[in-house]
Chains A and B, each alone.
Chain A
Amino acid sequence: KQEVTQIPAALSVPEGENLVLNCSFTDSAIYNLQWFRQDPGKGLTSLLLIQSSQREQTSGRLNASLDKSSGRSTLYIAASQPGDSATYLCAVGSGGYQKVTFGIGTKLQVIP
């Protein structure tokens, strides 16, 4: 059974700082890995999708890396802004029907 762990559970940083969010998964036989953002009481916004054959993806100030063999992914956020404050979820697609298994998330607060 796939299990996804995210560290840290919460993070508070001053505006402008670069930061790294970590995600680990137990079963390396994955199809893909996605990073999402969830604002309080809202749905999910997809940030980046990394296929199992890829090592990283970039979108603007966001960079996600994937090391499938070690079961790890990181989300790097450059020059953080208060608008980046949200919960960031790591989700792994694996198994039949490519079920998506979520981590519990990292709650990020960027202080102005």
Chain B
Amino acid sequence: GAVVSQHPSWVICKSGTSVKIECRSLDFQATTMFWYRQFPKQSLMLMATSNEGSKATYEQGVEKDKFLINHASLTLSTLTVTSAHPEDSSFYICSARKGKRNTEAFFGQGTRLTVV
């Protein structure tokens, strides 16, 4: 299967600082990538859909100024958590599709963010 690499796998940061998470499709081009967040004992919730070369589409309730998404190339999307607070502590995971329709979604390993 295709490989999606996410970095870092875990990060601890101080409250008020910003953290950038990278999502790369290693062996395919992904026109669309997705960012999810998972709180303990809850399901993965879609935060935003990222399209190469255009603005991300955010789900209702997700602050676009706080969670900055950049999809600068067909193999890289980044999520920046700005001015992080302890309530932003969560498991963030990205996914990418190889093609446009009816294709399997491949997921990164996830990033555990802890804000202290």
Per-position 1/0 for B35-56, Cβ under 8 A of A: 0100000111110010100000
How many Å from the CB of B9 to the closest CB on chain A?
A: 9
- Number of contacting residues on A, CB 8 A? 25
- Per DSSP, are chain B's interface residues mostly helix, strand or loop, or mixed? strand
Q: Contact: A46 with B34, CB < 8 Å?
A: no
Q: Which residues of B contact A89 (CB under 8 A)?
A: 43-44
Confirm or deny: A63 has a beta carbon within 8 angstroms of a beta carbon on chain B: no
How many Å from the CB of A29 to the closest CB on chain B?
A: 13
Q: Contact: A101 with B102, CB < 8 Å?
A: no
Q: Contact: A93 with B105, CB < 8 Å?
A: yes
Query: In the complex, which of the residues A93, A98, A104 contacts B43, with contact meaning CB atoms closer than 8 Å?
Result: A104
Residues of B10-40 contacting chain A, CB below 8 A = 32, 34, 36
Chain A positions within 8 Å of B, measured between CB atoms, are 4, 31-32, 34, 36, 41-44, 46, 49, 51-52, 89, 91, 93, 97-105
10 closest cross-chain pairs (CB), A and B: A43-B109, A43-B110, A104-B43, A44-B107, A102-B44, A102-B43, A49-B104, A97-B49, A31-B102, A100-B105
Chain B positions within 8 Å of A, measured between CB atoms, are 1, 6, 32, 34, 36, 42-46, 49, 51, 57, 91, 93, 95, 97, 101-102, 104-110, 112
